[in-house]
Chains A and B, each alone.
Chain A
Amino acid sequence: MTTAVIEARGLSKTYRSGHRALDSIDLRVEPGRIVGLIGPNGAGKTTALKAILGLTPVTGELQVLGRDPRHERDALMREVCFIADVAVLPKWLRVVNALDFVQGVHPHFDRRRAESFLRTTDVPLRSRVRELSRGMVTQLHLALVLAIDAKLLVLDEPTLGLDLLYRRTFYDTLLNDYFDKDRTIVITTHQVEEVENLLTDVVFINRGRVVLDAPVESLAERYVQLIATPERAAAARALKPFHEREVFGRIALTFEGRDVAELAAYGETRTPSIADLFIARMQGMSS
């Protein structure tokens, strides 16, 4: 068994209000994976990330890169990068001073790399963050992160509030210039379609619990979606789909652990997209 990047067992967190943000979560992330932590707002995604980053106290077992983030956040951050949504770079900071600062405190920061990335953008070095557009702030943050030789990158809704063009380049840059087999990325988002194609693993979280944790390549074996006419769908219900919905007068039934050949008799079959599966899982839970 390889050493996991993240290893959590029985991770729980109850806020003072009584709200149970994490309800005994187990999570294991191997190196070289791109994991999507997906869930509706308030599901516990951000709390889980904050626990992994040592930003919030939690109970349970937790190891990130062999360290306990609750006690060694500063040491851990030499190996971990974190981008929360774009608002968190301080407004008064100058671009050049952001480079100065990270260079001053981070042993694995390559300033030339950050500068050469910034040259491909329109971000002026002398500007303050408050003078930059949201897209440019993200580019600056990306420039800092790309220049840090880290093992784990954690992204919390990183493209929130960005327009389509910036969102696309953000993920393209991550995949092309950053990701390799020694690095691991954990992304939370509620916009599943956006990250669907780059994930290697999906973890669905709802109400503080993990409802699905699977490699993307296993989804095709586990889940089948059947698109059938209403009459045939009625017959197919005997095979116990866990979710169904109507699409343009036809019924989409989602099955777990059924043979494709068996279902093909009722209509058209396909592998559900992660977005479909997410919706199926979330609605299946609440019904």
Chain B
Amino acid sequence: MMPTRAFPTLIRRELWEHRGLLWAPVVVAVLLVALTLVFGGLPRGSVQIQFDGGANDFITELSGERQRMYFGIVVAGLMVPQLMVAMVVTFFYLLDSLYSERKDRSILFWKSLPVSDAATVGSKAAVSLVVVPLIVYGLSLLVSLVVFAVLAVKYSGTMFAPLLEWHTLDWLAMQGVLLLNILIAALWYSPIAAALLMISAAARRTPVLWAVVPPLALILVERSVFGTEHVLRLLGYRFSGFFDAMGMGFSGGQSSTDPSRWRIETLHDQINVAPLLLNIDLWLGVVVALVLLAIAVRLRRWRDDT
């Protein structure tokens, strides 16, 4: 029997070693709040003078249903910078995680403890697919609260105040959608994380090159020999398929004049990727991920410091 806190200990270990996983999203969150504080306000007093009736129309147009939708877009959008930074950090984390322990020979220390290779590899996959996304989620939740509070104070009493109206129920609903999306994204991107872990366990040097060069070479060879682009399309689909499912770009069949488009409920429906759970490709990806993780476990089992 393993002590029950073994897995949480393994997760903590990852965050001790790769502090950037925690700090990078925190820095972005702090930057977002700082930017709001510095640039988020217009000089008081000048506001009423600078804008004529046209601005009033603009503000009226952005009230009601539309304002609710923009509220939703801002709440969701505040997560994007943190998510992008976290993805870059996680990419390098995964490639490093089973490689550097061999390079600095610390693998001999980790393996001298009663922790299975499966638990070790599993903890690294869990950090990349669950822990980091949840950190980003939690931070963006805080950021949206702080940013709206800051703006509300800055604009209170001005003509822009209606634009910044707060909607608790919409906010909660959006948090629900985002949390669900993050968990589904973990499933969708699991084969990529698993492939990076496998490369990290296999590479004798420069895992980054092993992650980038073989797929590129495969794409180029396929194009020049067969004139086809199957590999490129497969990879492109795996990277962008999740965003396609989110209906990003709002370029669907509905025209921009369709009033039903300008509702937060529509926004929620559009970015909710729950239908992806019915997509066989998601589950095929999970199967591929499990196979790749099993290979990574096996590689680590017989790899030592040499």
Contacts and interface: CB of A to CB of B under 8 A. Distances in A.
Interface string A82-98: 11100111111110010
Interface residues of B, number: 31
Nearest to A102: B113
A141 to B, nearest CB: 8
B3 A106 contact: yes
Contacts of B111: 53, 55, 73, 77, 82
Contact of A82 (B3, B9, B101, B112): B112
Contact of A101 (B1, B13, B304): B13
A134 interface: no
B10 interface: yes
A234 B105 CA distance: 52
Given A100-B9, A104-B8, A105-B10, A90 B106 contact: yes
Given A73-B111, A74-B115, A88-B108, A93 B1 contact: no
B105 A84 contact: yes
B242 to A, nearest CB: 33
B304 A50 contact: yes
B304 to A, nearest CB: 5
Given A82-B108, A89-B106, A57 B113 contact: no
Nearest to B110: A90
B35 interface: no
B3 A89 contact: no
Interface in A65-84: 73-78, 80-84
Interface in B2-24: 2-3, 5-6, 8-10, 12-13, 16-17
**Interface majority SS (helix, strand, loop, mixed), chain A:** mixed
A107 interface: yes
Contacts of B43: none
A51 to B, nearest CB: 11
Contacts of B112: 53, 77, 80-84
A50 B302 CA distance: 10
A73 B108 CA distance: 12
Interface string B124-149: 00000000000000000000000000
Contacts of A73: 111, 116-117, 301
B131 to A, nearest CB: 16
Interface in B247-306: 301-302, 304-305
A56 interface: yes
Nearest to A83: B112
B12 A100 contact: yes
Contacts of A93: 16-17
A89 to B, nearest CB: 6
Interface in B209-244: none
A36 B3 CA distance: 33
A93 B8 CA distance: 17
B114 interface: yes
B109 interface: yes
Contact of A104 (B6, B101, B116): B6
Contact of A105 (B114, B117, B304, B305): B114
Contacts of B301: 73
B108 A55 contact: yes
A107 B2 contact: yes
Contacts of B305: 88
B7 to A, nearest CB: 9
Contacts of A89: 106, 109
A56 B16 contact: no
A106 B114 contact: yes
A106 B113 contact: yes
Nearest to A91: B104
Given A92-B16, A105-B3, A107-B114, A56 B304 contact: yes
A18 B109 CA distance: 28
Contacts of A106: 3, 113-114
Interface of A: 50, 53, 55-57, 73-78, 80-84, 87-94, 97, 100-107, 141
14 contacts: A53-B112, A55-B108, A73-B301, A74-B114, A74-B117, A76-B114, A78-B114, A88-B107, A90-B104, A93-B17, A101-B113, A103-B9, A104-B12, A107-B1
Given A77-B114, A97-B13, A104-B3, 20 more contacts: A55-B304, A56-B304, A74-B119, A75-B114, A77-B115, A82-B111, A84-B109, A84-B112, A88-B104, A88-B106, A91-B104, A92-B16, A93-B16, A93-B17, A100-B12, A101-B13, A105-B10, A105-B114, A107-B3, A107-B114
